[in-house]
Chain A
């Protein structure tokens, strides 16, 4: 994980003359001489890539090496590598902390619920749109449902709070028509997950449907044609032509969703959080933020973050493996 990728052709480098000598012998051009030749001919490309590569080293790989402070008692003066080792103390403390299971449970349920709700709905929307041939209506639905994706999380959360607010929001007015007393949705922990998930569905369904629409348009029209001639109804064609056609796409999206279950984002949960609903809204990501930046316990926050990353990576690899076994489609082939 250090700065020397193979941009540079191996240490110390044989002089150009040596490379030329090697090049003169055609049967065995080693990788090193190949690299050297490519570097000499296309040095501008290697120059071009230096800055972006430095970005990835500095902002992605150095943080990974910095994560060593999870096993240390971090002191700002001594720096990440100079601090004293404490082994797994931070992890043990975290596992023993009564908040541990609450965090894992909240994170897991929130994310699982999100995946369950936001996986099938875009597929239904895409198939419904695909059945319609009325150009303008179809375009309007697509344009409008796609729009919320471009609204920021802060605004979506604000809208949610305003719409659900006890005095001002129309949701309480609407349920008031049925004689239900006003509800402070955000103040009740039990409503938190529903609010989180369904506002997410509201925001992302149109966007996710686009991917399935593309998959649907890639299906050979001849398949539909022959199914029609055989007397298949619309529903039958959806089940036997459309669904198998979008299967590979759906698998990839499900794998990504399930694999990322433990890495559910900080942003929205933090914004929707308030002291009243914390028993369900506190997830690992928000806890890391609070421990690390508000309480300045860097080592502990890193340990929790690392625990989360490792679990997440393992989960993603497992799910991908299983999906590949069952359907033959994985994230990478």
Chain B
């Protein structure tokens, strides 16, 4: 599926450029202008990339070099000490595992529920779909607020359980709109009629025809949910108390922002304390890399689909 989309996009994007190339010669001011544009883009590239490279370079440097602030864009006295330390820390590893559980479990639940509501709402024969849609959109504009939602989660007995991480934020209205628009624009009514004549029920039609035909959009919303779940820390902050349930983002916050060191800090000599402190500094950089890696690895492959999904949703329907 992705291949066809790629090909389509490439040809669609190229056409105006080629025609531009074949027409009249560029004037002098235009050439200067173009150089200005390129310089601007280089600046944008550098401004975004330098902090990222800086973090990676630091994470691979020796603790003493990092603490002296000597590292800029290339590792100094390369070492993977910080990574070893991070991967042997039980709290960080536990957080990593928890985040995976929440991301995978949450995505499964979210995608299932999103399809279950988006598909009926996409059908013309579904009575009351406009009213339900308005009710959904209203929740985007107005909410009860932090405490009233907290009370509901509390009443359901979800506080301090894994459910609190995946259920209260299960369905995104935005994702429902994206899926609904896709179903409406790509599944023709004739297909449904043909399936009914062959004796397919609504559920059978959804399962055997709609879902296989909608793989690209399902992939997009699944990735949106997964990345959102991986990156979120707010729900964990308010609903979870038990450190054994903390996702990685909360562990990161404790280590990186609140400066609470993990592991045993029962050091004796001053030299050891200094080393601990230096190690803690590199550990921060390594943790940033470790936590962002899963998302940044898949990102280049999904960026195009992500963009497409955003576009589908942007078409008002």
Give the B-binding residues of A (Cβ under 8 A): 5-7, 9, 34-35, 38-39, 41-42, 44-46, 48-49, 51-53, 55-56, 58-67, 69, 80, 124-125, 128-129, 131-133, 137, 140-141, 143-148, 150-155, 157-159, 161-163, 167-170, 173, 202, 205-206, 210-211, 214, 217, 221, 224-225, 228-229, 233-235, 249, 266-267, 271, 288-289, 292-293, 298, 301-302, 305-306, 308-309, 313, 316, 332-333
Which residues of A have CB within 8 Å of B24? 228-229
Known: A128-B41, A133-B21, A221-B19. A302 touches B27 (CB 8 A): no
B149-164 interface code vs A (CB 8 A; 1 in, 0 out): 1111000100000000
Docked-complex contact A211 and B116, CB < 8 angstroms: no
Which residues of B have CB within 8 Å of A271? 253, 257
Which residues of A have CB within 8 Å of B143? 60, 63-64, 309
Docked-complex contact A202 and B117, CB < 8 angstroms: no
- Whether, in the assembled complex, B82 has its beta carbon less than 8 Å from a beta carbon of chain A, the answer is no
User: With A and B bound together, what is the CA distance between A301 and B316 in angstroms?
Assistant: 35
21 A-B residue pairings within 8 Å (CB atoms): A5-B131, A6-B127, A38-B127, A46-B126, A48-B119, A63-B149, A64-B143, A132-B41, A144-B45, A150-B231, A152-B233, A155-B252, A159-B51, A168-B69, A202-B48, A217-B13, A225-B23, A234-B30, A293-B238, A305-B146, A309-B143
Docked-complex contact A210 and B113, CB < 8 angstroms: no
- Whether, in the assembled complex, B295 has its beta carbon less than 8 Å from a beta carbon of chain A, the answer is yes
Docked-complex contact A5 and B135, CB < 8 angstroms: yes
Known contacts A56-B135, A132-B41, A234-B29; 19 further A-B pairs (Cβ under 8 A): A51-B113, A53-B117, A56-B136, A56-B171, A61-B135, A66-B151, A131-B34, A148-B48, A152-B230, A152-B233, A161-B257, A162-B55, A168-B69, A214-B311, A249-B314, A288-B145, A288-B147, A293-B146, A301-B146
Docked-complex contact A141 and B234, CB < 8 angstroms: no
Task: Name the interface residues of B82-117: CB closer than 8 Å to any CB of A.
Answer: 113-114, 116-117
- Whether, in the assembled complex, B303 has its beta carbon less than 8 Å from a beta carbon of chain A, the answer is yes
Which 10 residue pairs of A and B lie closest in terms of their CB atoms, listed nearest first? A63-B144, A305-B145, A66-B148, A152-B231, A52-B117, A6-B128, A63-B148, A158-B256, A221-B16, A44-B202
A308 to chain B, nearest CB (A): 8
- Whether, in the assembled complex, B284 has its beta carbon less than 8 Å from a beta carbon of chain A, the answer is yes
Question: Which of B181-189, B260-268, B285-293 lies on the face that meets chain A?
Answer: B285-293
Residue ID in chain A nearest B67 by CB atoms? A168
Which residues of B have CB within 8 Å of A41? 125
Docked-complex contact A158 and B252, CB < 8 angstroms: yes
Residue ID in chain B nearest A157 by CB atoms? B257
B290-314 interface code vs A (CB 8 A; 1 in, 0 out): 0110011001100100010011001
Which residues of B have CB within 8 Å of A229? 23-24
Docked-complex contact B233 and A35, CB < 8 angstroms: no
Task: Name the interface residues of B230-270: CB closer than 8 Å to any CB of A.
Answer: 230-234, 238, 249, 252-253, 256-257
Docked-complex contact B234 and A53, CB < 8 angstroms: no
Known: A64-B142, A141-B41, A225-B23. A42 touches B307 (CB 8 A): no
Which residues of A have CB within 8 Å of B121? 49
- Whether, in the assembled complex, B218 has its beta carbon less than 8 Å from a beta carbon of chain A, the answer is no
User: With A and B bound together, what is the CA distance between A129 and B233 in angstroms?
Assistant: 34
Known: A56-B171, A224-B16, A298-B147. A144 touches B120 (CB 8 A): no
Which residues of B have CB within 8 Å of A308? 145
- Whether, in the assembled complex, B197 has its beta carbon less than 8 Å from a beta carbon of chain A, the answer is no
- Whether, in the assembled complex, B201 has its beta carbon less than 8 Å from a beta carbon of chain A, the answer is yes
Docked-complex contact B311 and A147, CB < 8 angstroms: no
Which residues of A have CB within 8 Å of B291? 152, 155
Instruction: Name the contact of B19 in the complex, choosing from A46, A153, A225 (C-beta under 8 A).
Output: A225
User: With A and B bound together, what is the CA distance between A126 and B230 in angstroms?
Assistant: 28
- Whether, in the assembled complex, B1 has its beta carbon less than 8 Å from a beta carbon of chain A, the answer is no
B270 to chain A, nearest CB (A): 18
Residue ID in chain B nearest A49 by CB atoms? B120
- Whether, in the assembled complex, B215 has its beta carbon less than 8 Å from a beta carbon of chain A, the answer is no
User: With A and B bound together, what is the CA distance between A146 and B299 in angstroms?
Assistant: 9
Residue ID in chain A nearest B223 by CB atoms? A150
Which residues of A have CB within 8 Å of B135? 5, 56, 61
Interface centre among A80, A167, A173, A234 (most CB of B within 10 A): A234
User: With A and B bound together, what is the CA distance between A39 and B20 in angstroms?
Assistant: 56
Which residues of A have CB within 8 Å of B310? 210-211
User: With A and B bound together, what is the CA distance between A235 and B32 in angstroms?
Assistant: 11
Which residues of A have CB within 8 Å of B34? 131-132, 234
Known: A41-B125, A45-B126, A309-B143. A80 touches B151 (CB 8 A): yes
Known: A5-B128, A132-B41, A271-B257. A66 touches B144 (CB 8 A): yes
Known: A151-B295, A163-B51, A271-B253. A266 touches B234 (CB 8 A): yes
Which residues of B have CB within 8 Å of A224? 16, 20
User: With A and B bound together, what is the CA distance between A154 and B232 in angstroms?
Assistant: 9
